[in-house]
């Protein structure tokens, strides 16, 4: 149903938090990172990750990827020759070989 975008967003945000904690703890001991100001350890993971998450949410919300290809489509529009309402209830998403129905 509509849980998939929330799940992907939550997973992405948890990864950003994980990387932030790693860099704050280990940044001063990492090559190249040891030359950066301490604030970068806190800001950079979110500055890179949040736009990527927003981009993926925007792409799935409009029903297509940002480059215009039809990677993400409504499942009912993919099947015109037979009725598969039991397999793909209306409102579920089909992403190239991945069925998000419960």
Give the model's pLDDT for residue 48.
95
Query: Which domain does 54 fall in, by range?
Result: 3-99
Residue 74 has pLDDT above 60, yes or no: no
Count of CA atoms in the C-beta half-sphere (13 A) of 36: 17
Please give the residue that has the higher pLDDT: either 44 or 57.
44
> Which 3 state secondary structure label does DSSP give 72?
strand
Residue 98 has pLDDT above 70, yes or no: no
Give the model's pLDDT for residue 101.
59
Candidate from 17-21, 48-52, 83-87, 98-102 with smallest mean pLDDT: 83-87
pLDDT digits (tens, 9 = 90+) for 58-69: 877 654 444 444
Query: How confident is residue 99, by pLDDT bands cut at 50, 70 and 90?
Result: low
Give the model's pLDDT for residue 25.
94
pTM of the predicted model as reported, rounded to 2 decimal places:
0.57
Task: Provide the number of structural domains found in the chain.
Answer: 1
DSSP secondary structure string for all residues of 38-55: HHHHHHHHHHHHHHHHHH
Indicate the DSSP class of residue 13.
H
pLDDT digits (tens, 9 = 90+) for 17-30: 999 999 999 999 99
Label residues 57-70 b or e (16+ Cβ within 10 Å = b): eebbeeeeeeeeee
């Amino acid at each position: 149903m509509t849980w998939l975008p929330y799940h992907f967003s939550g997973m992405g945000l948890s990864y950003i938090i994980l990387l932030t904690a790693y860099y704050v703890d280990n940044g001063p001991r990492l090559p190249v990172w040891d030359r950066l100001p301490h604030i970068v350890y806190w800001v950079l993971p979110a500055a890179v990750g949040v736009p990527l998450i927003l981009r993926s949410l925007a792409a799935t919300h409009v029903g297509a990827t940002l480059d215009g290809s039809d990677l993400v489509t409504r499942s009912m529009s993919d099947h015109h020759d037979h009725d598969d309402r039991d397999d793909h209830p209306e409102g579920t998403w089909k992403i190239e070989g991945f069925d998000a129905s419960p």
